Chain A
Protein backbone atom coordinates (compact mmCIF):
# COMPACT_ATOMS: atom_id res chain seq x y z
CA UNK A 1 0.00 0.00 0.00
CA UNK A 2 3.06 2.23 0.37
CA UNK A 3 6.22 1.97 -1.69
CA UNK A 4 9.29 4.12 -1.03
CA UNK A 5 11.72 4.17 -3.97
CA UNK A 6 15.28 5.46 -3.81
CA UNK A 7 14.28 8.24 -1.42
CA UNK A 8 16.73 10.96 -0.39
CA UNK A 9 16.27 13.89 1.98
CA UNK A 10 18.78 16.71 2.33
CA UNK A 11 18.59 19.68 4.65
CA UNK A 12 20.95 22.14 3.00
CA UNK A 13 24.21 20.25 2.67
CA UNK A 14 23.31 17.64 5.31
CA UNK A 15 22.05 14.33 3.96
CA UNK A 16 19.59 12.70 6.36
CA UNK A 17 19.33 9.55 4.20
CA UNK A 18 19.60 8.58 0.56
CA UNK A 19 18.84 5.58 -1.67
CA UNK A 20 16.22 4.43 0.81
CA UNK A 21 13.76 1.89 -0.59
CA UNK A 22 11.19 -0.17 1.25
CA UNK A 23 7.64 -1.31 0.96
CA UNK A 24 4.73 -1.55 3.38
CA UNK A 25 2.04 -4.09 2.51
CA UNK A 26 -1.52 -4.40 3.69
CA UNK A 27 -1.52 -5.97 7.15
CA UNK A 28 2.16 -5.30 7.90
CA UNK A 29 3.33 -4.32 11.36
CA UNK A 30 6.57 -2.51 10.57
CA UNK A 31 8.99 -1.36 13.26
CA UNK A 32 11.16 1.63 12.35
CA UNK A 33 14.21 1.71 14.60
CA UNK A 34 17.42 3.71 14.82
CA UNK A 35 19.24 6.13 17.12
CA UNK A 36 17.93 9.64 17.76
CA UNK A 37 18.68 12.03 14.90
CA UNK A 38 18.98 9.32 12.26
CA UNK A 39 15.87 10.58 10.46
CA UNK A 40 12.95 8.48 11.68
CA UNK A 41 10.66 11.46 12.18
CA UNK A 42 11.91 13.04 8.93
CA UNK A 43 10.94 9.87 7.10
CA UNK A 44 7.47 9.91 8.63
CA UNK A 45 6.98 13.59 7.80
CA UNK A 46 7.90 12.80 4.19
CA UNK A 47 5.41 9.95 4.08
CA UNK A 48 2.78 12.31 5.51
CA UNK A 49 3.56 14.81 2.75
CA UNK A 50 4.77 17.50 5.17
CA UNK A 51 8.30 17.38 3.70
CA UNK A 52 9.29 17.16 0.04
CA UNK A 53 11.89 14.50 -0.82
CA UNK A 54 15.12 15.74 -2.41
CA UNK A 55 15.10 12.71 -4.71
CA UNK A 56 13.11 9.50 -5.14
CA UNK A 57 9.40 8.84 -4.90
CA UNK A 58 6.78 7.59 -2.49
CA UNK A 59 4.01 5.70 -4.24
CA UNK A 60 0.81 5.13 -2.36
CA UNK A 61 -2.29 3.12 -2.93
CA UNK A 62 -5.11 5.56 -3.85
CA UNK A 63 -7.19 4.24 -0.97
CA UNK A 64 -4.45 4.95 1.55
CA UNK A 65 -5.67 6.89 4.57
CA UNK A 66 -3.05 7.55 7.22
CA UNK A 67 -3.77 7.97 10.92
CA UNK A 68 -0.78 9.56 12.62
CA UNK A 69 -0.22 9.61 16.39
CA UNK A 70 2.37 12.34 17.07
CA UNK A 71 5.18 11.91 19.57
CA UNK A 72 4.54 14.91 21.82
CA UNK A 73 1.35 16.47 23.02
CA UNK A 74 1.09 19.18 25.60
CA UNK A 75 -2.06 18.54 27.63
CA UNK A 76 -2.03 19.58 31.30
CA UNK A 77 -3.86 18.05 34.26
CA UNK A 78 -6.69 20.60 33.94
CA UNK A 79 -7.37 19.67 30.32
CA UNK A 80 -11.17 19.85 30.33
CA UNK A 81 -12.48 17.66 27.50
CA UNK A 82 -13.67 14.13 28.23
CA UNK A 83 -11.93 11.25 26.50
CA UNK A 84 -14.94 10.76 24.20
CA UNK A 85 -14.93 14.45 23.23
CA UNK A 86 -11.19 14.41 22.68
CA UNK A 87 -11.52 11.41 20.38
CA UNK A 88 -14.26 13.13 18.36
CA UNK A 89 -12.03 16.18 17.67
CA UNK A 90 -10.75 14.33 14.61
CA UNK A 91 -14.11 14.69 12.87
CA UNK A 92 -12.93 17.83 11.12
CA UNK A 93 -14.01 19.59 7.95
CA UNK A 94 -16.77 21.85 6.68
CA UNK A 95 -19.67 20.07 8.30
CA UNK A 96 -22.40 20.87 10.79
CA UNK A 97 -21.00 21.73 14.24
CA UNK A 98 -22.65 18.79 15.99
CA UNK A 99 -21.75 15.13 15.40
CA UNK A 100 -23.99 12.91 13.30
CA UNK A 101 -25.41 9.70 14.74
CA UNK A 102 -22.94 7.69 12.65
CA UNK A 103 -20.04 9.73 14.01
CA UNK A 104 -21.18 9.27 17.60
CA UNK A 105 -21.43 5.52 17.03
CA UNK A 106 -17.94 5.47 15.51
CA UNK A 107 -16.57 7.19 18.65
CA UNK A 108 -18.18 4.53 20.83
CA UNK A 109 -16.82 1.71 18.65
CA UNK A 110 -13.24 3.00 18.80
CA UNK A 111 -13.47 3.66 22.52
CA UNK A 112 -14.61 0.09 23.02
CA UNK A 113 -11.82 -1.28 20.81
CA UNK A 114 -9.26 0.50 22.97
CA UNK A 115 -10.92 -0.60 26.21
CA UNK A 116 -11.62 2.99 27.27
CA UNK A 117 -15.40 2.60 27.76
CA UNK A 118 -15.41 2.81 31.60
CA UNK A 119 -13.55 6.15 31.57
CA UNK A 120 -14.95 7.63 28.33
CA UNK A 121 -16.69 10.47 30.17
CA UNK A 122 -13.77 11.38 32.41
CA UNK A 123 -11.75 14.54 31.63
CA UNK A 124 -8.62 13.56 29.71
CA UNK A 125 -6.50 15.72 32.03
CA UNK A 126 -7.18 13.29 34.87
CA UNK A 127 -6.32 10.15 32.86
CA UNK A 128 -3.07 8.20 33.39
CA UNK A 129 -0.21 8.18 30.88
CA UNK A 130 -1.33 4.89 29.34
CA UNK A 131 -4.95 6.01 29.12
CA UNK A 132 -3.82 9.22 27.42
CA UNK A 133 -1.84 7.28 24.80
CA UNK A 134 -4.88 5.10 24.15
CA UNK A 135 -7.00 8.23 23.74
CA UNK A 136 -4.49 9.63 21.21
CA UNK A 137 -4.64 6.32 19.37
CA UNK A 138 -8.43 6.37 19.46
CA UNK A 139 -8.48 9.90 18.04
CA UNK A 140 -6.37 8.79 15.07
CA UNK A 141 -8.50 5.65 14.59
CA UNK A 142 -11.86 7.39 14.67
CA UNK A 143 -11.32 8.70 11.12
CA UNK A 144 -11.01 5.07 9.92
CA UNK A 145 -7.42 5.04 8.59
CA UNK A 146 -5.98 1.90 6.97
CA UNK A 147 -2.41 2.80 7.95
CA UNK A 148 -1.61 3.81 11.51
CA UNK A 149 1.72 5.50 12.30
CA UNK A 150 2.78 5.49 15.95
CA UNK A 151 5.65 7.90 16.68
CA UNK A 152 7.32 6.63 19.87
CA UNK A 153 3.94 6.27 21.52
CA UNK A 154 5.32 4.05 24.28
CA UNK A 155 8.31 6.23 25.20
CA UNK A 156 6.86 7.69 28.41
CA UNK A 157 5.09 4.58 29.69
CA UNK A 158 5.99 2.00 32.34
CA UNK A 159 6.70 -1.60 31.18
CA UNK A 160 3.26 -3.03 31.98
CA UNK A 161 1.41 -0.18 30.28
CA UNK A 162 3.66 -0.44 27.21
CA UNK A 163 2.80 -4.11 26.84
CA UNK A 164 -0.89 -3.39 27.26
CA UNK A 165 -0.86 -0.65 24.60
CA UNK A 166 1.03 -2.81 22.11
CA UNK A 167 -1.27 -5.75 22.79
CA UNK A 168 -4.22 -3.55 21.76
CA UNK A 169 -2.35 -2.36 18.66
CA UNK A 170 -1.43 -5.95 17.70
CA UNK A 171 -5.06 -6.92 18.12
CA UNK A 172 -6.15 -4.14 15.69
CA UNK A 173 -3.46 -5.34 13.29
CA UNK A 174 -4.49 -9.00 13.40
CA UNK A 175 -8.26 -8.76 13.74
CA UNK A 176 -8.98 -5.76 11.50
CA UNK A 177 -5.98 -6.04 9.19
CA UNK A 178 -4.89 -2.51 10.10
CA UNK A 179 -1.41 -1.75 8.78
CA UNK A 180 0.96 -0.34 11.42
CA UNK A 181 4.20 1.63 11.32
CA UNK A 182 5.68 1.66 14.81
CA UNK A 183 8.62 3.97 15.50
CA UNK A 184 10.40 2.92 18.66
CA UNK A 185 13.58 2.56 20.67
CA UNK A 186 12.22 -0.24 22.76
CA UNK A 187 13.87 -3.45 21.51
CA UNK A 188 11.81 -5.64 23.80
CA UNK A 189 8.59 -4.40 22.18
CA UNK A 190 10.09 -4.41 18.69
CA UNK A 191 11.06 -8.08 19.02
CA UNK A 192 7.69 -9.09 20.37
CA UNK A 193 4.98 -7.37 18.30
CA UNK A 194 5.97 -6.22 14.76
CA UNK A 195 6.57 -8.67 11.89
CA UNK A 196 9.00 -6.51 9.86
CA UNK A 197 11.67 -4.01 10.67
CA UNK A 198 13.41 -1.08 9.03
CA UNK A 199 16.64 -0.13 10.78
CA UNK A 200 17.93 3.32 9.88
CA UNK A 201 21.61 4.06 10.49
CA UNK A 202 23.76 7.04 9.67
CA UNK A 203 25.64 4.97 7.09
CA UNK A 204 22.74 3.11 5.50
CA UNK A 205 19.83 0.91 6.50
CA UNK A 206 18.68 -2.67 6.66
CA UNK A 207 15.29 -4.32 6.60
CA UNK A 208 13.63 -7.71 6.73
CA UNK A 209 11.42 -9.98 8.81
CA UNK A 210 11.65 -9.32 12.52
CA UNK A 211 13.26 -12.75 13.20
CA UNK A 212 16.38 -11.59 11.35
CA UNK A 213 16.73 -8.50 13.49
CA UNK A 214 18.11 -10.30 16.52
CA UNK A 215 20.93 -11.86 14.52
CA UNK A 216 21.82 -8.48 13.04
CA UNK A 217 21.81 -6.92 16.44
CA UNK A 218 24.32 -9.32 17.94
CA UNK A 219 27.53 -7.40 18.20
CA UNK A 220 25.76 -4.09 17.63
CA UNK A 221 23.97 -3.08 20.77
CA UNK A 222 23.66 0.51 19.70
CA UNK A 223 20.16 1.08 18.36
Chain B
Protein backbone atom coordinates (compact mmCIF):
# COMPACT_ATOMS: atom_id res chain seq x y z
CA UNK B 1 0.00 0.00 0.00
CA UNK B 2 2.80 2.41 0.90
CA UNK B 3 4.54 1.77 -2.42
CA UNK B 4 2.03 4.16 -3.99
CA UNK B 5 3.00 7.78 -3.58
CA UNK B 6 -0.61 8.91 -3.29
CA UNK B 7 -1.14 6.58 -0.30
CA UNK B 8 1.98 7.91 1.40
CA UNK B 9 0.76 11.45 0.81
CA UNK B 10 -2.71 10.54 2.06
CA UNK B 11 -1.32 9.01 5.28
CA UNK B 12 0.93 12.01 5.96
CA UNK B 13 -1.89 14.47 5.30
CA UNK B 14 -4.36 12.38 7.31
CA UNK B 15 -2.05 12.23 10.30
CA UNK B 16 -1.56 16.00 10.29
CA UNK B 17 -5.30 16.57 9.99
CA UNK B 18 -6.08 14.17 12.83
CA UNK B 19 -3.66 15.94 15.18
CA UNK B 20 -4.91 19.43 14.34
CA UNK B 21 -8.57 18.34 14.51
CA UNK B 22 -8.16 16.59 17.85
CA UNK B 23 -6.48 19.61 19.44
CA UNK B 24 -8.84 22.21 17.96
CA UNK B 25 -11.90 20.00 18.47
CA UNK B 26 -11.52 20.08 22.25
CA UNK B 27 -11.92 23.88 22.14
CA UNK B 28 -14.73 23.66 19.55
CA UNK B 29 -16.75 21.43 21.89
CA UNK B 30 -15.97 23.52 24.97
CA UNK B 31 -17.06 26.70 23.16
CA UNK B 32 -20.18 24.96 21.76
CA UNK B 33 -19.18 25.83 18.22
CA UNK B 34 -20.02 22.62 16.35
CA UNK B 35 -22.59 24.48 14.24
CA UNK B 36 -20.09 27.24 13.45
CA UNK B 37 -17.59 24.60 12.34
CA UNK B 38 -20.15 23.10 10.01
CA UNK B 39 -20.87 26.55 8.56
CA UNK B 40 -17.19 27.24 8.03
CA UNK B 41 -16.94 24.03 6.04
CA UNK B 42 -19.83 25.13 3.81
CA UNK B 43 -18.06 28.44 3.36
CA UNK B 44 -14.98 26.41 2.54
CA UNK B 45 -16.95 24.71 -0.24
CA UNK B 46 -17.80 28.12 -1.72
CA UNK B 47 -14.15 29.12 -1.38
CA UNK B 48 -12.90 26.00 -3.10
CA UNK B 49 -15.27 26.44 -6.03
CA UNK B 50 -14.22 30.09 -6.22
CA UNK B 51 -10.62 28.86 -6.32
CA UNK B 52 -11.47 26.62 -9.29
CA UNK B 53 -13.29 29.46 -11.02
CA UNK B 54 -10.36 31.81 -10.48
CA UNK B 55 -7.80 29.21 -11.49
CA UNK B 56 -6.29 28.85 -7.99
CA UNK B 57 -5.92 25.69 -5.97
CA UNK B 58 -9.11 24.80 -4.02
CA UNK B 59 -7.17 25.06 -0.72
CA UNK B 60 -6.21 28.69 -1.36
CA UNK B 61 -9.79 29.58 -2.23
CA UNK B 62 -10.94 27.89 0.94
CA UNK B 63 -8.40 29.72 3.07
CA UNK B 64 -9.47 33.08 1.67
CA UNK B 65 -13.20 32.48 2.19
CA UNK B 66 -13.07 30.84 5.61
CA UNK B 67 -10.69 33.38 7.16
CA UNK B 68 -12.63 36.40 5.91
CA UNK B 69 -16.00 34.96 6.94
CA UNK B 70 -14.83 33.78 10.36
CA UNK B 71 -13.77 37.30 11.24
CA UNK B 72 -17.09 38.57 9.87
CA UNK B 73 -19.09 36.16 12.02
CA UNK B 74 -17.00 37.04 15.06
CA UNK B 75 -17.62 40.74 14.61
CA UNK B 76 -21.31 40.43 13.69
CA UNK B 77 -22.36 38.11 16.45
CA UNK B 78 -20.18 39.23 19.36
CA UNK B 79 -21.07 37.50 22.58
CA UNK B 80 -24.80 37.17 21.99
CA UNK B 81 -25.38 33.45 21.60
CA UNK B 82 -28.91 33.50 20.18
CA UNK B 83 -27.94 36.11 17.61
CA UNK B 84 -24.90 34.08 16.70
CA UNK B 85 -27.14 31.20 15.58
CA UNK B 86 -29.07 33.43 13.14
CA UNK B 87 -25.98 35.19 11.84
CA UNK B 88 -24.35 31.84 11.19
CA UNK B 89 -27.31 30.42 9.29
CA UNK B 90 -27.62 33.56 7.14
CA UNK B 91 -23.93 33.46 6.24
CA UNK B 92 -24.05 29.71 5.69
CA UNK B 93 -26.91 29.98 3.18
CA UNK B 94 -25.28 32.85 1.34
CA UNK B 95 -22.01 31.00 0.90
CA UNK B 96 -23.54 27.72 -0.28
CA UNK B 97 -25.34 29.78 -2.92
CA UNK B 98 -22.06 31.40 -3.95
CA UNK B 99 -20.40 27.98 -4.09
CA UNK B 100 -23.04 26.70 -6.49
CA UNK B 101 -22.65 29.83 -8.63
CA UNK B 102 -18.86 29.52 -8.91
CA UNK B 103 -19.18 25.83 -9.74
CA UNK B 104 -21.57 26.63 -12.55
CA UNK B 105 -19.35 29.42 -13.86
CA UNK B 106 -16.13 27.42 -13.84
CA UNK B 107 -15.88 24.85 -16.60
CA UNK B 108 -14.59 22.00 -14.43
CA UNK B 109 -16.31 18.64 -14.48
CA UNK B 110 -18.79 17.81 -11.74
CA UNK B 111 -16.47 15.15 -10.31
CA UNK B 112 -14.31 18.02 -9.17
CA UNK B 113 -17.21 19.33 -7.13
CA UNK B 114 -17.67 15.89 -5.60
CA UNK B 115 -14.02 15.90 -4.59
CA UNK B 116 -14.44 19.19 -2.78
CA UNK B 117 -17.64 18.18 -1.04
CA UNK B 118 -16.77 14.63 -0.08
CA UNK B 119 -12.99 14.62 -0.10
CA UNK B 120 -10.45 12.91 -2.28
CA UNK B 121 -7.49 10.91 -1.12
CA UNK B 122 -6.02 10.34 -4.52
CA UNK B 123 -5.88 14.03 -5.32
CA UNK B 124 -3.34 14.99 -2.67
CA UNK B 125 0.03 15.89 -4.18
CA UNK B 126 3.42 16.34 -2.53
CA UNK B 127 3.02 20.11 -2.77
CA UNK B 128 -0.37 19.88 -1.02
CA UNK B 129 1.22 17.88 1.78
CA UNK B 130 3.86 20.57 2.24
CA UNK B 131 1.30 23.35 2.37
CA UNK B 132 -0.81 21.39 4.85
CA UNK B 133 2.21 20.68 7.03
CA UNK B 134 3.09 24.35 7.24
CA UNK B 135 -0.51 25.33 8.02
CA UNK B 136 -0.87 22.60 10.65
CA UNK B 137 2.36 23.61 12.35
CA UNK B 138 1.26 27.25 12.36
CA UNK B 139 -2.09 26.35 13.95
CA UNK B 140 -0.47 24.21 16.65
CA UNK B 141 2.15 26.86 17.36
CA UNK B 142 -0.45 29.59 17.91
CA UNK B 143 -2.52 27.26 20.13
CA UNK B 144 0.63 26.60 22.17
CA UNK B 145 1.30 30.33 22.53
CA UNK B 146 -2.17 31.29 23.74
CA UNK B 147 -2.85 27.92 25.42
CA UNK B 148 -3.44 29.02 29.02
CA UNK B 149 -5.68 31.95 28.17
CA UNK B 150 -7.56 30.04 25.46
CA UNK B 151 -8.16 27.20 27.92
CA UNK B 152 -9.62 29.58 30.52
CA UNK B 153 -11.71 31.49 27.96
CA UNK B 154 -13.06 28.27 26.41
CA UNK B 155 -13.78 26.22 29.53
CA UNK B 156 -14.93 29.05 31.80
CA UNK B 157 -15.71 32.25 29.85
CA UNK B 158 -17.39 33.98 32.81
CA UNK B 159 -14.47 33.20 35.07
CA UNK B 160 -11.95 34.16 32.39
CA UNK B 161 -13.51 37.65 32.17
CA UNK B 162 -13.27 37.94 35.95
CA UNK B 163 -9.66 36.74 35.77
CA UNK B 164 -8.83 39.53 33.31
CA UNK B 165 -8.42 37.43 30.15
CA UNK B 166 -9.12 39.25 26.83
CA UNK B 167 -11.98 36.87 25.98
CA UNK B 168 -13.27 38.75 22.91
CA UNK B 169 -9.91 39.09 21.16
CA UNK B 170 -9.16 35.44 21.86
CA UNK B 171 -12.53 34.56 20.31
CA UNK B 172 -11.51 36.11 17.00
CA UNK B 173 -8.07 34.48 17.12
CA UNK B 174 -9.78 31.15 17.73
CA UNK B 175 -12.16 31.63 14.77
CA UNK B 176 -9.23 32.29 12.43
CA UNK B 177 -7.49 29.16 13.75
CA UNK B 178 -10.72 27.24 13.20
CA UNK B 179 -10.98 28.58 9.63
CA UNK B 180 -7.45 27.34 8.93
CA UNK B 181 -8.19 23.94 10.48
CA UNK B 182 -11.37 23.53 8.43
CA UNK B 183 -9.51 24.33 5.22
CA UNK B 184 -6.80 21.82 6.04
CA UNK B 185 -9.14 19.04 7.17
CA UNK B 186 -11.40 19.45 4.12
CA UNK B 187 -8.60 18.09 1.95
CA UNK B 188 -9.23 14.54 3.16
CA UNK B 189 -12.80 14.25 4.41
CA UNK B 190 -14.27 16.91 2.13
CA UNK B 191 -15.97 20.09 3.17
CA UNK B 192 -19.37 18.55 3.91
CA UNK B 193 -18.05 16.12 6.50
CA UNK B 194 -15.49 18.22 8.27
CA UNK B 195 -17.23 17.95 11.61
CA UNK B 196 -16.53 14.21 11.61
CA UNK B 197 -12.97 15.06 12.56
CA UNK B 198 -13.33 18.49 14.14
CA UNK B 199 -16.14 17.70 16.56
CA UNK B 200 -16.84 13.96 16.99
CA UNK B 201 -13.45 12.84 18.40
CA UNK B 202 -13.42 15.73 20.89
CA UNK B 203 -17.07 15.16 21.79
CA UNK B 204 -16.19 11.52 22.57
CA UNK B 205 -13.05 12.51 24.47
CA UNK B 206 -14.93 14.50 27.12
CA UNK B 207 -16.44 11.23 28.39
CA UNK B 208 -13.11 9.45 28.65
CA UNK B 209 -10.78 12.18 29.97
CA UNK B 210 -11.27 14.99 32.48
CA UNK B 211 -8.38 17.36 31.86
CA UNK B 212 -7.83 19.55 28.80
CA UNK B 213 -4.57 17.83 27.86
CA UNK B 214 -6.14 14.40 28.47
CA UNK B 215 -9.08 15.26 26.23
CA UNK B 216 -6.68 16.46 23.51
CA UNK B 217 -4.69 13.23 23.60
CA UNK B 218 -7.86 11.14 23.51
CA UNK B 219 -9.37 13.22 20.69
CA UNK B 220 -6.18 13.02 18.62
CA UNK B 221 -6.12 9.25 19.26
CA UNK B 222 -9.74 8.82 18.13
CA UNK B 223 -9.13 10.96 15.04
CA UNK B 224 -5.94 9.06 14.15
CA UNK B 225 -7.69 5.72 14.55
CA UNK B 226 -10.45 6.85 12.21
CA UNK B 227 -8.15 8.31 9.57
CA UNK B 228 -5.59 5.50 9.53
CA UNK B 229 -8.14 2.69 9.59
CA UNK B 230 -10.40 4.56 7.16
CA UNK B 231 -7.59 5.00 4.63
CA UNK B 232 -6.65 1.34 4.94
CA UNK B 233 -10.23 0.10 4.52
CA UNK B 234 -10.73 2.51 1.62
CA UNK B 235 -7.62 1.11 -0.03
CA UNK B 236 -8.82 -2.47 0.45
CA UNK B 237 -12.41 -2.03 -0.67
CA UNK B 238 -12.23 0.95 -3.04
CA UNK B 239 -15.15 2.46 -1.10
CA UNK B 240 -14.94 6.13 -0.13
CA UNK B 241 -12.49 6.78 2.71
CA UNK B 242 -14.80 9.46 4.10
CA UNK B 243 -17.49 6.84 4.64
CA UNK B 244 -15.20 4.68 6.76
CA UNK B 245 -13.92 7.63 8.79
CA UNK B 246 -17.50 8.73 9.45
CA UNK B 247 -18.55 5.23 10.58
CA UNK B 248 -15.53 4.80 12.87
CA UNK B 249 -15.90 8.22 14.53
CA UNK B 250 -19.65 7.81 14.97
CA UNK B 251 -19.08 4.37 16.50
CA UNK B 252 -16.52 5.78 18.95
CA UNK B 253 -18.98 8.50 19.91
CA UNK B 254 -21.71 5.90 20.44
CA UNK B 255 -19.42 3.90 22.71
CA UNK B 256 -18.52 7.08 24.63
CA UNK B 257 -22.20 7.81 25.26
CA UNK B 258 -22.78 4.26 26.48
CA UNK B 259 -19.75 4.43 28.79
CA UNK B 260 -21.00 7.73 30.20
CA UNK B 261 -24.47 6.27 30.70
CA UNK B 262 -23.15 3.37 32.76
CA UNK B 263 -20.68 5.53 34.68
CA UNK B 264 -23.37 7.98 35.74
CA UNK B 265 -25.58 5.06 36.79
CA UNK B 266 -22.81 3.74 39.01
CA UNK B 267 -22.14 7.08 40.72
CA UNK B 268 -25.81 7.79 41.35
B149 lies within 8 A of A74 (CB): no
- Residues on A with C-beta less than 8 A from B151 are 89
Q: How far is the CA of A132 from the CA of B255 in the complex (A)?
A: 28
Give the secondary structure class of A's interface.
loop
How many residues of B sit at the interface, in one of the four size bands?
A: 20 to 34
- Residues on B with C-beta less than 8 A from A72 are 158
**Out of B145, B160, B212, which one reaches A81, CB within 8 Å?**
B212
- Residues on B with C-beta less than 8 A from A93 are 148-149
B76: CB under 8 A from chain A? no
Given contacts A80-B206, A82-B210, whether A95 and B158 have CB atoms under 8 Å apart is no
- Residues on B with C-beta less than 8 A from A85 are 210-212
Give the distance to chain B from A95, nearest Cβ to Cβ, in Å.
Answer: 6
- Interface flags, B149-173, vs A, CB<8A=1, else 0: 1011001101111111100000000
- Residues on A with C-beta less than 8 A from B212 are 81, 85
A81 lies within 8 A of B210 (CB): yes
Q: What residue in chain B is nearest A142 (Cβ atoms)?
A: B163
- Residues on A with C-beta less than 8 A from B207 are 80
B1: CB under 8 A from chain A? no
User: Which residues of chain B in 197-230 are interfacial with respect to chain A, using CB atoms and an 8 Å cutoff?
Assistant: 206-207, 209-213, 215
A91 lies within 8 A of B211 (CB): no
Q: How far is the CA of A44 from the CA of B3 in the complex (A)?
A: 67
Given contacts A73-B158, A97-B148, whether A143 and B211 have CB atoms under 8 Å apart is no
Give the distance to chain A from B147, nearest Cβ to Cβ, in Å.
Answer: 4
A200: CB under 8 A from chain B? no
Query: Which of B148, B152, B155, B215 has the most CB atoms of chain A within a 10 A radius of its CB?
Result: B148
A86: CB under 8 A from chain B? yes
- Residues on B with C-beta less than 8 A from A91 are 148
Give the distance to chain A from B34, nearest Cβ to Cβ, in Å.
Answer: 14
Q: What residue in chain B is nearest A72 (Cβ atoms)?
A: B158
Chain A residues at the B interface, C-beta cutoff of 8 Å: 48, 68-70, 72-75, 78, 80-82, 85-86, 89-95, 97-98, 121, 123, 126, 136, 139-140, 143
A-B contact pairs, 25 of them (CB 8 A): A69-B162, A70-B158, A73-B158, A78-B206, A80-B206, A80-B210, A81-B155, A81-B212, A85-B211, A89-B151, A90-B152, A90-B159, A90-B163, A91-B148, A92-B148, A92-B164, A92-B165, A93-B148, A94-B148, A95-B148, A97-B148, A121-B210, A123-B210, A126-B264, A143-B163
